[in-house]
Amino acid sequence: MSDLSGKRALVTGGSRGIGAAIAQSLAKAGAEVAITYAGSADKAEAVVKAIKASGRKGVAIKADSADAAQIERGVKSAVEALGGLDILVNNAGIARAGEVETISIEDIDALLAVNVRGVVLASRAAIPHLGKGGRIVSIGSNLAERVPFPGLTIYSMTKSALLSFTRGLARELGPRGITVNMVNPGSTDTDMNPADGEMAAAQLAHNALGHFGTPDDIANMVTYLAGPQAKQITGAAFLVDGGFNA
């Protein structure tokens, strides 16, 4: 298990689903953890309570990942609350479906704003605070590498963009001893993609293990990458998808 004692982490979109599991896993490994959220203040507070139950400092910050000023304020607030920053997890993301011919411009803009620009701006704001041993882990999707259904083109494109962002940023920050990686979940049981949802059966047809993953499955990989044992890993993307892309 990773030892994150003394580390300070920020998880974007940590109020629900995968982000909430990551925040709690990092805290269990010893980190002090700040989370951002867009609207779910009550759920964010429940996650903070769970972090504090692990004996760590926890803080929830309302910061919309679609808004540049809020992202910058969110990172600044996290740094102030935790006394610095060692780990950034870019988890906040949205899903909107629709074929290219018909998807609304509003949906295209929202997907690009949160899933791409939000990740770039949070990383940009965090970098000056990260020292040697720093970590940036972004949550992509198995759809970054394969697009098995029509209607997911723009969402998949936003996640593919993070592959080159991760690789390029790994080269920029490698000389400073900071690693940059990506975890690509497959079907994971959350509000975004419930295991009993109407799209579940179509997804399971591609899944080698025959079941959805849990948010903890993703959190385990993120916590490993955030830890000292992963010090030689950078510029890489890791599928946690039950063999969906196999």
Active-site residues, by number, are 155
Spatial contact of 170 and 138, defined as CB atoms under 8 Å apart: no
At 24, which amino acid appears? Answer: Q
DSSP letter string, 78-113 = HHHHHTS-SEEEE---------TTTS-HHHHHHHII
Among 34, 51, 75, 114, binds ligand NDP (CB under 6 A): 114
Q: Does 43 bind ligand NDP (CB under 6 A)?
A: yes
User: Among residues 71, 74, 171, which one has the least CA distance to residue 116?
Assistant: 71
Q: Does 223 bind ligand NDP (CB under 6 A)?
A: no
Q: Which two tokens stand for residue 47?
A: 């996650």
For ligand NDP, the closer of residues 1 and 199 by Cβ is: 199
Q: Does 141 bind ligand NDP (CB under 6 A)?
A: yes
Is the dihedral angle over the CA atoms 44, 50, 51, 57 positive or is it negative? Answer: positive
Give the H or E element holding residue 169: helix 153-173
Stretches 76-84, 99-107, 169-177, 180-188: which one binds ligand NDP (CB under 6 A)?
Answer: 180-188
Which residue has tokens 């920020």?
Answer: 10
Stretches 23-31, 97-105, 190-198, 219-227: which one binds ligand NDP (CB under 6 A)?
Answer: 190-198
Stretches 53-61, 90-98, 124-132, 229-237: which one binds ligand NDP (CB under 6 A)?
Answer: 90-98
Rounded least distance, CB 110 to ligand NDP, Å: 8
Strand partners, 156: none
For ligand NDP, the closer of residues 56 and 159 by Cβ is: 159
Size of the site for ligand NDP (CB under 6 A): 32
Strand partners, 11: 35, 89
Q: Does 24 bind ligand NDP (CB under 6 A)?
A: no
Rounded least distance, CB 205 to ligand NDP, Å: 15
Q: Could you give the CA distance from residue 23 to residue 35 in angstroms, rounded to a whole number?
A: 7
At 19, which amino acid appears? Answer: G
Stretches 24-32, 88-96, 164-172, 174-182: which one binds ligand NDP (CB under 6 A)?
Answer: 88-96
Q: Does 228 bind ligand NDP (CB under 6 A)?
A: no
User: Among residues 227, 222, 212, which one has the least CA distance to residue 19?
Assistant: 222
Q: Does 122 bind ligand NDP (CB under 6 A)?
A: no
Q: Does 15 bind ligand NDP (CB under 6 A)?
A: yes
Spatial contact of 96 and 110, defined as CB atoms under 8 Å apart: yes
Q: Does 190 bind ligand NDP (CB under 6 A)?
A: yes
Residues that bind ligand NDP in the complex, under the rule CB under 6 A: 12-19, 36-40, 43, 64-66, 91-95, 114, 139, 141, 185, 187-188, 190-193
